[in-house]
Chain A
Amino acid sequence: MSVSSAVQAAGEADGGCAVRTHRLTKRFRSGQVAVNAVDLAVPRGSVYGFVGPNGSGKTTTIRMLLGLVRPTAGRHELLGLSMPRQAGRVLPAVGALVEGPAFHPYLSGPANLRRLDAVDRTADPRSAGPRIGAALERVGLSSAGNKRYRNYSLGMRQRLAIAAALLRPRDLLILDEPTNGLDPQGTREVRSLVTRLSQEGVTVMLSTHLLSEVEQVCTHVGVMRTGSLIAQSSLAQLRGSTATGVRVETSCPQAAAAVLIECGLGGVVPGPGVVQADLGPYEPEALVVALVRAEVPVRGFTCVQPTLEELFVSLTGEGFDVDG
């Protein structure tokens, strides 16, 4: 598809992709195809929103990316190194949150992080203490102290999982539903954390089913549906591909419609008390002047950016059920 090849070109222009898959496929033993020939291209430095309803194959794809699940067909690279063959070299530079937090319930948060750090043969044990402290600080868990993980709230658990992903400096973060279970305050914190990390040069791949999240933090987006990647593009391209609309509130819709047609706008639809049209290449300011000169009583004039959801509908030709 043309959108995805555009992203690929963009990715290669700025130094390759942090995540690249080639016809990645997973067929379960039951015969069900969970992921079907997916070609992901996550450009370095991007915040990539990986969206799709529950059960669309996002998590299975992420598990394959990280080497937890073996693909039935296809191959993939992380940070330019082929997986899973070079997992030992590439994964230390990758932080991951896979399908919710999971820790030993009878250990405290810091003890759980120490445990994960002890598993990493390339981590320096002498710097473990400060690194764990910094990671906990970053997600706002410093005050949790030695409380056992089993007594953590869902939000604290989610934060601890993010802290584990930040245990050392990473080049790529793969975060599966990172704001799941967080209160609005926590959600905001995680989003600003993602933005900050991105500014530091970390590539972030963020799986979510919240389109608002994509709208707020992502630069790129890939859409999964029933195991296939149905769209992939930068958010700017996606927006550019659909027309901005004009909405004029007026008591004389017919007169307003006539002015807009005269100005050359297409898709003019007069309704009761309102006229809608495609903006096209025209200046909104000039349109307002033209309307006022024609003595059309204008109550309101708005340029309408289609919502992301509408974009997905226009892109895929069908509705996108955000809640699965």
Chain B
Amino acid sequence: MSTADGATIVSGREGTDPRRGSARALRWGAGTALRADLRLFGSEFGLHLVRRRNWAGVGVLLSVPIILAVCVKVTSDGNTDGAGPGFLTAVTDNGLFVALAALTMELPLFLPLAMATICADTVAGEANTGTLRYLLVVPVHRTRLLIIKYLAVLVAFTGALLLLVVVGWAIGTALFGGGSLTTLSGEQISFWAGVGRLLLVCLYIDVCFAGLAAIGMFVSTLTEQPLAVVIATVAVATISQVLDTVPQLSSIHGYLPTHHWMAFADLFREPVALGSIRPGILSALAYAAIFLSAAWARFGDKDITC
């Protein structure tokens, strides 16, 4: 049967003869291919959404800004020295800083854990339940599956990140008020400029975690145990952060996957200090490219025996 844009889609007996496939392929419009990819993406993203485990994880992520804001509000002296790059001390100044302080606290462990958990579901999780073999005989091209799974992971993570920021901002504004805010370098910016900066921070963290997601996807193609993926991915992030604190290793610090993560604070300076943002983005893109290629090479001709 034909769709509006002239592409032929199989839904009846006559279309299943594979020898007619080449003729069919010629009539495949780009629009149909894109729609099919979107459908697969929706299915992948939907799998993340329907898992109660994932929502429990989101609950944990959201609890941090709530607990943080309430604690700061209750302890009136606000003695919060020594936590993060100066955001915690500023939360009473403007509610927006609750979101930033929460990000700072969750960046080392909770966010990598969240990313590792959803990466584990993609390939290792499907291999573990055996659904991977049924996906591949549908059929679906392994490269297409890998890329769409990666994109679904990034979108799911972005969703969690935005929820975290929105909840932090909402409870912060409710408890400490909004209005214009003072940047880390002392200048005042308007409230909406602050919101824009916050979104830029999310974007930057997203790019950083695209690198970690590629590492997670790669590990996911190596094993059939989702838990192993979680452990390995969190271990990579943690070891990287530990090595980052050893001064004797300063020569390799710039190459560590987590080295530039905290640079997001520079987006809250006036003017924005791009000095560490740019290498952060380049590093994350490099990690994404390397480990996605590795995942592709590994998954592309892997024997599916589970």
Contacts and interface: CB of A to CB of B under 8 A. Distances in A.
B34 to A, nearest CB: 10
Interface in A56-91: 63, 66-70, 79-81, 86-91
A102 B129 contact: yes
Contact-residue size bin, chain A (C-beta under 8 Å from the other chain): 35 or more
A94 B138 CA distance: 8
A169 B12 contact: yes
B39 to A, nearest CB: 5
Given A69-B303, A70-B303, A118-B43, A171 B10 contact: no
Contacts of A80: 18-19
Nearest to A80: B19
Given A93-B16, A119-B135, A121-B40, A104 B10 contact: no
Interface stretch (A122-130, A186-194, A209-217, A295-303): A122-130
B11 A120 contact: no
Contacts of B11: 123-124, 126-127, 131, 168
Given A63-B305, A125-B39, A105 B129 contact: yes
A99 B12 CA distance: 28
Given A118-B40, A127-B11, A86 B131 contact: no
B1 interface: yes
User: Looking at chain B's contact residues, is the secondary structure mostly helix, strand, loop, or mixed?
Assistant: helix
Interface string A98-142: 111011111100000011101111111111000100000000000
A96 interface: yes
B294 to A, nearest CB: 19
A168 B16 contact: yes
Contact of A92 (B43, B51, B139, B304): B139
A170 interface: yes
Interface in B113-172: 129-131, 133-141, 145
Contacts, number: 128
Contacts of B43: 114-115, 118-119
B138 A68 contact: no
A171 B18 CA distance: 9
B297 interface: no
A164 interface: yes
Contacts of A87: 139
Interface string B27-40: 00000010111011
Interface string B61-99: 000000000000000000000000000000000000000
B22 to A, nearest CB: 8
Given A92-B18, A121-B36, A125-B39, A70 B301 contact: yes
A116 B135 contact: yes
B11 to A, nearest CB: 4
B137 A68 contact: yes
A118 B10 contact: no
Given A70-B301, A104-B47, A106-B50, 16 more contacts: A63-B133, A66-B136, A67-B137, A89-B21, A93-B17, A96-B137, A116-B134, A116-B138, A118-B39, A119-B135, A120-B139, A121-B40, A122-B9, A122-B24, A123-B10, A125-B35
Interface of A: 63, 66-70, 79-81, 86-94, 96, 98-100, 102-107, 114-116, 118-127, 131, 164, 168-171
